[in-house]
Structure 1
Amino acid sequence: MTHQYGSRTAIVVGASLSGLMTALTLSRTGTRVTMLERSANKSRTGAALPVRDGLLERLTGRRQTGGTAVVPSGAQAWADVHAALRATVLTDPRIRLRAPVTVTSVGEDEQSAWARTGTGETLRATLLVGADGHGSVVRPHVSPEAPRATFSGYVIWLGLVGEASIASRPWPCDLAILYEEDYCLNAYYLPGADGSTSPGRRRIGWGWYDAGHNDLLRTSEAVVGDVVRRTLRPERMPDTLFEELADTARRLWPAPWREAILHGLSERAVIGTPIGEYLPNRLATERVCLVGDAAHLPSPMTGSGFAASSEDALALAEALELHGSVSEALRSYESTRLQPARRLVRSGQSFSHSFAPYGAAQ
Structure 2
Amino acid sequence: MRADSRPTTRPAHNPSSPATALIVGASLAGLMTALTLSRTGVHVTLLERSDETGRTGAALHVQDGLLERITGLPTSQVPQPLAPGIQTWFAVHGALRAAIEANPIIELRQNTTVRKVGQDAHSAWALTSERQRITADIVIGADGHRSTVRRHIAPEHPDATFAGYVIWIGIADESAIRTRRWPQDVAFLGDNDNTLLGYPLPGANGSHAPGSRRLGWAWYDSSRNGLLRSTGSVNGSVVRHSLMPAGIPNATYRELAAQARELFPSPWKEAILDSIERRAVIGTPIAEYVPARLANGRVAIVGDAAHVPTPMTGSGFAESLYDAEAIANAISDSGTTTNALLNYESARIRSARNLVQSGQGFSRSFARRAA
What does the per-residue CA deviation read over 1:93-114, in whole Å, with 9 as the maximum and x for residues that have no partner?
1000001100000011110010
2:76 corresponds to:
65
In structure 1, distance between residues paired with 2:294 and 2:344: 8
1:129 corresponds to:
140
Give how far 1:64 is off. 2.0
TM-score (norm 2): 0.93
Alignment of 1:24-103 (within 5 A): 24-65=35-76, 70-103=81-114
Contact 2:17 2:336 in 1 (8 A): no
- Asked whether 1:238 is paired with 2:284, we answer no
- Asked whether 1:256 is paired with 2:270, we answer no
Alignment of 1:275-286 (within 5 A): 275-286=286-297
1:344 corresponds to:
355
Amino acid at match of 2:20: T
2:10 corresponds to:
none
Q: Secondary structure at the match of 2:325?
A: helix
Q: Secondary structure at the match of 1:30?
A: coil
Contact 1:149 1:277 in 2 (8 A): yes
In structure 1, distance between residues paired with 2:26 and 2:351: 23
Give how far 1:71 is off. 2.2
Q: Secondary structure at the match of 1:65?
A: helix
In structure 1, distance between residues paired with 2:18 and 2:167: 44
In structure 2, distance between residues paired with 1:91 and 1:6: 24
Specify whether residues 7 and 348 from structure 1 end up closer, same or farther in structure 2 by C-alpha distance, changes over 3 A only: closer
In structure 2, distance between residues paired with 1:98 and 1:68: 20
In structure 2, distance between residues paired with 1:97 and 1:353: 39
- Asked whether 1:307 is paired with 2:322, we answer no
What does the per-residue CA deviation read over 1:172-197, in whole Å, with 9 as the maximum and x for residues that have no partner?
43210112251100001011111111
Give how far 1:170 is off. 2.7
Contact 1:33 1:95 in 2 (8 A): yes
Of residues 226, 229, 233 in structure 2, which corresponds to 1:218? 229
Contact 2:31 2:96 in 1 (8 A): yes
Give how far 1:236 is off. 0.9
In structure 2, distance between residues paired with 1:42 and 1:272: 16
Q: Secondary structure at the match of 2:356?
A: helix
Q: CA RMSD in A?
A: 1.6
* Greater displacement, 338-347 / 172-181: 172-181
Alignment of 1:135-174 (within 5 A): 135-174=146-185
- Asked whether 1:113 is paired with 2:124, we answer yes
Specify whether residues 31 and 148 from structure 1 end up closer, same or farther in structure 2 by C-alpha distance, changes over 3 A only: same
Of residues 263, 271, 276 in structure 1, which corresponds to 2:282? 271
Q: Percent sequence identity over matched residues?
A: 54
Contact 1:107 1:115 in 2 (8 A): yes
Amino acid at match of 2:300: C
Q: How many residues align?
A: 358
TM-score (norm 1): 0.96
- Poorly superposed stretches of 4+, deviation over 6 Å: 66-69
1:319 corresponds to:
330
Amino acid at match of 2:327: L
In structure 2, distance between residues paired with 1:122 and 1:332: 27
Q: Secondary structure at the match of 2:229?
A: helix
Contact 1:169 1:255 in 2 (8 A): no
* Greater displacement, 171-180 / 88-97: 171-180
2:309 corresponds to:
298
Give how far 1:357 is off. 2.5
In structure 2, distance between residues paired with 1:181 and 1:142: 38
In structure 2, distance between residues paired with 1:241 and 1:146: 34
Contact 1:6 1:29 in 2 (8 A): no
- Asked whether 1:228 is paired with 2:239, we answer yes
In structure 2, distance between residues paired with 1:354 and 1:340: 23
Contact 1:170 1:199 in 2 (8 A): no
What does the per-residue CA deviation read over 1:4-52, in whole Å, with 9 as the maximum and x for residues that have no partner?
2686100000000000000000111100011100111211011100111
Gap regions ≥5 residues in structure 2: 1-13
Q: Secondary structure at the match of 1:194?
A: coil
What does the per-residue CA deviation read over 1:104-152, in whole Å, with 9 as the maximum and x for residues that have no partner?
0001111001000000000110000000000000001001111000100
In structure 2, distance between residues paired with 1:78 and 1:257: 20
